[in-house]
A and B are shown apart, each in its own frame.
Chain A
């Protein structure tokens, strides 16, 4: 009996020890998109923050905002700071998943941030863009984005697209002849969604769908696809660091923001504010451009940006010629509906 209780006590202790390592009381859990992007954040923000005497736990996700909602609803929030895109920031804000940001508490000037007034619930950190790319050693340069994605006769082979209606539906409509400024008017109707999906139907069997940002460049590198979409920084990383002969198609690039948001009800809200304030510093945000080609949202960062990276940013003049700006409000409002339609279409 004594032996048994000893074993039990040991098991209990081991259990507690495990639980503590998983989540120490003073550790801030920061969740971002993994891969090259999180690596850039690690170098620019996380490591200096740890060096300043703080503790953080990193986690990765692929934008499953449902996890945040579930945590908030269950009142068991274990993520303290989350990197979200615009539609997630807007939808999460409307559903009460995120804390309202007190800019005074951050000690930052909202007016100095591009996109600072897009939502009340998040602090902009970078501007990224969804783009397509190809392997110059295998594929001839297409005339434009739509030829790359939809002309399967000229470019036989598979295409890697994000498993999400975001940007894909817009591109499909534009490829089908809808003028860029009319896209959201058309997409706002059921017929418009049908039209976009019908256009995607023409390449449905040629598409490999990806969920994590690193998959696009990977599929391209493996020769599994002739064109892949991803976020421009992921291709930049493959070109610069992995020396891949990739080229980005800037035609109809779709820029968007990433934000820092705080899930509602986190017990570490003070630390979360402290971290966001730390990571929104102009110089630190400029430093991030050394590692990835995303534009800092802090206007004061401009002076500190490495000039070598300027042509690779989505905001470079050459890259903006045929830019398409997605409407975050449209996606914040209609994202859920369109995702459901899109998933049903995928499964058919």
Chain B
């Protein structure tokens, strides 16, 4: 400051070529920033393309459904005048006939049917049949003729559903993934009993993930302790046992479990001879028959085997950094080994435990192939339903909505976790 005051007003500091120093500095800094940005830009572009963009598309698809809006433009325009109480007027039916003829020509009738069928079960086949028959109608009045094709066109609920589906955006998918639906009057109600499955599936997904996380912690923690405290030579051999399965493909390990879990498989026989199968039956972990394959138990065991290194390794690397002096100090101050371990050692491993558990839990949420191969139909997790919606049902709205549910569940968990443990305390080593 003193220097600036000493210099004449126009005598700003300049570089050799006469540009003010401030400008030159800013320019150099910008160049550095650009360079740094250029270095990360491939990764940035990759993340945007492969992560951010698909998630945006998924969010969009979960609420976007233009099948009815695109294929029934005239009907929807005509329905705008409808009071929603009595049956729509002749104009609506005339517009409907024109729309259906066009849709039949473009082979879009089944799409209309599919969309409406999500809300009125069984209407798909009626829409298709109507599409086939509507070509014969060329003289008004259309109202009676259309109702004569199928009485479903004589119900106000059908037209209310068409009107509700007229916007290209719909809460339908998100609601149905929460086992809810819009009633005729637009209010939200629960699905009928036989269609309520997704809340159960969500609970099941969270439950299995939690169980797998707990089991990997119970099994992994002592092993990590052993690894961290054994002499170097023993530790490296033990480490191989942990890492070797870790390096083996997930699919290979799952297939191996399929063979072990089969009724005459090694694992099944071992479990049955030792009486563990009998015990599991006692606690309702398997379905009553003395079989393990295609059960919840098999799913959890196989997932646990795959996830164990993910929980164990962060704990191990944190344990490695804990000086043995703390335990010695605790013992010299009169603590029993157990007390010292619980009060002095364990709290220091918490950041590793937190990291390992979060990693395993979030990875478990997305499991698909392991439950599909070793689990039964009632052990399938959300990802399995996303697979079946995209691959077998071609219902991308449903798949996206399930994806959104999974995303929200993960974000909420992350938030709660951050509040409880603090994400900055997490350590991967």
Query: A residues within 8 Å of B by Cβ?
Result: 64-67, 69-70, 91, 93-96, 158, 190, 194, 205-206, 208-209, 222-224, 333-334, 336-337, 339-341, 343-348
Contact = CB atoms under 8 A, between A and B. Distances in A.
B368 to A, nearest CB: 14
B377 A336 contact: no
Interface stretch (B74-82, B310-318, B384-392): B384-392
Contacts of B264: 223
Interface in B59-118: 106-111, 114, 117
B157 interface: no
Contacts of A96: 106-108, 110-111
B129 interface: yes
A333 B125 contact: yes
Contacts of B107: 93-96
Contact of B287 (A205, A222, A337): A205
A45 B182 CA distance: 52
Judged by DSSP, the binding face of A is helix
B274 interface: no
A347 B378 contact: yes
Contacts of B377: 209, 346-347
Given A66-B391, A70-B394, A94 B128 contact: yes
A69 B262 contact: no
B380 interface: yes
18 contacts: A66-B390, A70-B394, A95-B111, A96-B110, A206-B289, A208-B294, A222-B262, A333-B124, A334-B122, A336-B124, A337-B121, A337-B125, A343-B388, A346-B377, A346-B378, A347-B197, A347-B380, A348-B200
B384 to A, nearest CB: 9
Nearest to A333: B125
Contacts of A94: 107, 109-110, 128, 131
Contacts of B291: 158
B385 A347 contact: yes
Interface string B261-303: 0111000000000000000000000011101011000000000
Given A96-B110, A206-B289, 20 more contacts: A64-B391, A66-B392, A66-B393, A70-B396, A94-B110, A95-B111, A96-B107, A190-B121, A190-B122, A223-B264, A333-B124, A333-B125, A336-B393, A340-B393, A341-B194, A347-B197, A347-B200, A347-B377, A347-B378, A347-B385
Contact of A339 (B194, B390, B393): B393
B195 interface: yes
Interface of B: 106-111, 114, 117, 121-122, 124-125, 128-129, 131, 194-195, 197, 200-201, 262-264, 287-289, 291, 293-294, 377-378, 380, 385, 388, 390-394, 396
Contacts of B124: 333-334, 336-337
Contacts of B195: 344
Nearest to A194: B194
Of listed A67, A209, A348, residue having the most chain B CB within 10 A:
A348
A208 B108 CA distance: 37
A57 B117 CA distance: 37
**Smallest CB-CB A-B distances: 6 pairs:** A96-B107, A66-B394, A333-B125, A95-B110, A94-B110, A346-B377
Contacts of A345: 194
A194 B288 CA distance: 25
B390 A205 contact: no
Contacts of A222: 262
